[in-house]
């Protein structure tokens, strides 16, 4: 039997393209991910995490172009802040093209949480997928996020198609989140 854990970015991308759930390292914790436009995978992810569907989910990308199908126009002021903080461990809540995304992605909001990642392996994964990915912390809602591939395997191994297992980045927890309408830090 082939291992469902390793460093094969192409295998992780193939799992995403097949509609499966994966785990991968981000800047500070491991994330659970899937195709952000696959409503079936999104529902499986919410069920796995026992996450309230009204909260919405974060998407990450390797570049701004991968976010364009999901994000609406932003002001010049916010555009400057995005350019100053990306790629990097900063998540921004931006206007969403709500007519183009599944409801599970935005939850009860008309906005979407976005990040252009600075984690090189995760950026390579987004490039291999050729689109943004859902990136929600690898944990059951309300519990601490997994920071190692071993922790992810203990919690979710039977529910994931693949665990891409390089180490997390240098951030000591989840990324800060900023409101794209006000510029205020929310987390």
Residue 13, pLDDT score = 98
Is 5-169 assigned to CATH 3.90.870.10? yes
Phi, psi (degrees; rounded to nearest 5) at 52 = -60, 120
Note the pLDDT tens digit of each residue in 78-92.
999 999 999 999 999
Residue 183, pLDDT score = 87
Please name which of 40, 24, 44 lies closest in space to residue 32, comparing C-alpha atoms.
Answer: 24
Domain ranges (residues) in the chain: 5-169
* Distance, CA of 162 to chain centre: 15
Q: Taking the CA of residue 116 as centre, how many other CA atoms within 13 Å lie in the half-sphere pointing to its CB?
A: 16
pLDDT-above-90 percentage for the chain: 89
| Residue-by-residue DSSP string for 102-155 | -HHHHTTSSEEEEEE---HHHHHHHHHHTS-EE-EESSSTTSPPP-SHHHHHHH
The DSSP bridge partners found for residue 137 are 31
Please name which of 119, 120, 157 lies closest in space to residue 138, comparing C-alpha atoms.
Answer: 157
Q: How confident is the model at residue 44 (pLDDT cuts 50, 70, 90)?
A: very high
Note the pLDDT tens digit of each residue in 21-43.
999 999 999 999 999 999 999 99
Decide if pLDDT at 1 tops 80: no
Strands 91-95 and 177-179: parallel
The DSSP bridge partners found for residue 114 are 59, 92
Buried b (16+ CB within 10 A) or exposed e, 41-62: bbebbbebbebeeeebbbbbbb
Asked if residues 43 and 103 have their Cβ atoms less than 8 Å apart, the reply is: no
Q: What is the mean pLDDT of residues 124-131?
A: 98
């Amino acid at each position: 039997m082939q291992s469902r854990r390793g460093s094969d970015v192409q295998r992780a991308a193939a799992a995403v393209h097949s509609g499966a759930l994966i785990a991968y390292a981000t800047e500070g914790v491991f994330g659970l991910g899937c195709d952000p436009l696959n409503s079936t995978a999104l529902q499986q992810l919410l069920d796995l995490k026992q996450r309230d569907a009204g909260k919405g989910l974060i998407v990450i990308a390797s570049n701004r172009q991968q976010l364009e199908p999901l994000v609406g126009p932003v002001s010049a002021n916010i555009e400057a802040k995005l350019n100053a903080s990306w790629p990097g461990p900063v998540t921004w809540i931006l206007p969403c093209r709500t007519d183009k995304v599944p409801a599970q992605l935005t939850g009860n909001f008309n906005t979407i949480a976005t990040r252009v990642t600075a984690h090189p392996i995760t950026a390579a994964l987004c490039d291999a997928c050729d689109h943004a990915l859902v990136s929600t912390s690898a944990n059951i809602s309300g519990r601490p996020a997994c920071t190692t591939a071993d922790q992810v395997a203990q919690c979710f191994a039977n529910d994931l198609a693949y665990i891409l297992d390089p180490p997390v980045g240098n951030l000591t927890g989840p990324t800060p989140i900023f409101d794209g309408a006000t510029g205020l830090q929310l987390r």
